[in-house]
């Protein structure tokens, strides 16, 4: 089964162009399923698995206290895996056919207020090489709403300071151009002039944002940077690098931006994903009403 999982992950990478994080999740989920099958002595091969097997596996995860989102993700991985196996004639039937994912309660994303964002963006010190880089990264993230994985994958040609846009590659390697503002462009220009040349060791390095070793910034590295500045800004909320993306979308919609335009900038394939931010706005409207109306 491990060989088949490897072939499937390679198919997802080459044929469907899925991101490395997605590939890792699929591989991890399928290896968990493989362990489950191995633990059931009567099920030593994929051909032995039935609809009842899959349901038993889902019920076991529920009994173990797995979150509905985790169960839904693992079922999605299994569905895609079995569809691949049927196409490749490895199995005759798909035991996951017509199985529905558990209902998910969509949690509203945590967002920062405009004031909190301003406090966060003021923290990096422009007098240091690291401060120039960090200022540029945070400004670009909030100005464009791109994912952290997209931010750290930017190369120097991906940022057009004259036309004020960044080019990034999202899920499925889909390219999109996202407009950015004058403040973010100025921060990047300052970093390129006075920061990046002192960090880069290899003249051929194309990554825009690099660490102190002169290599591409990692997600973990950026997460540490953001935690540091969040603490220095006195922000009490528990935030993640994705919080600036959520804040970008929410603030745009609060100021009258069209939800379709926000969808395109965020790179969402389905508008329903973007519409969660309109629910955030409605929640805030209720708070305003409750705090302001004399008979609320």
Tokens of 52: 């009842």
HSE-CB at 154 with a 13 A cutoff on CA atoms is: 27
Strand partners, 168: 176
Residue pair 22/171 in contact (Cβ under 8 Å)? The answer is yes
Q: Write the CB contacts of 288 (distance below 8 Å, at least 6 apart in sequence).
A: none
Question: E strands of 90-164, at which residues?
Answer: 159-160
Alpha-carbon distances, residue 172 vs 14, 169, 250, 267, 275 (angstroms):
10, 8, 25, 11, 21
Instruction: Tell me the catalytic residues.
Output: 147, 171, 242, 245, 268, 277
Q: What share of the chain is helix, strand, coil (3-state, %, to 5)?
A: 60, 5, 35
Residues in the chain: 296
């Amino acid at each position: 089964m491990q060989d088949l999982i490897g072939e499937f992950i390679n198919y997802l990478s080459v044929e469907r162009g899925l991101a490395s994080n997605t590939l890792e999740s699929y591989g991890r989920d399928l290896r968990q399923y493989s362990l489950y099958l191995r633990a059931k002595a009567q099920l030593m091969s994929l051909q032995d698995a039935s609809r009842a097997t899959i349901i038993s596996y889902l019920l076991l995860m529920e009994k173990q206290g797995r979150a509905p989102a985790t169960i839904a993700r693992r079922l999605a991985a299994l569905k895609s895996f079995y569809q691949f196996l049927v196409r490749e004639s490895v199995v005759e039937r798909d035991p996951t056919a017509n199985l529905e994912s558990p209902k998910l309660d969509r949690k509203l994303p945590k967002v920062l207020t405009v004031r909190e964002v301003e406090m966060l963006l003021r923290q990096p010190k422009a007098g240091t090489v690291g401060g120039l880089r960090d200022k540029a990264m945070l400004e670009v993230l909030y100005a464009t709403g791109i994912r952290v994985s997209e931010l750290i994958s930017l190369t120097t040609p991906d940022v057009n300071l004259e036309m004020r846009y960044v080019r990034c590659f999202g899920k499925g390697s889909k390219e999109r151009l996202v407009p950015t503002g004058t403040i973010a462009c100025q921060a990047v220009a300052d970093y390129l002039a006075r920061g990046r040349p002192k960090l880069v060791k290899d003249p051929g390095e194309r990554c825009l944002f690099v660490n102190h070793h002169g290599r591409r910034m990692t997600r973990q590295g950026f997460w540490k940077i953001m935690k540091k500045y969040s603490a220095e800004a006195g922000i009490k909320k528990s935030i993640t690098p994705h919080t600036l993306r959520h804040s970008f979308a929410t603030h745009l919609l609060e100021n009258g931006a069209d939800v379709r335009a926000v969808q395109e900038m965020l790179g969402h394939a389905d508008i329903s994903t973007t519409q969660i931010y309109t629910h955030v706005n409605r929640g805030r409207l209720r708070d305003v009403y409750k705090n302001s109306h004399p008979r609320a």
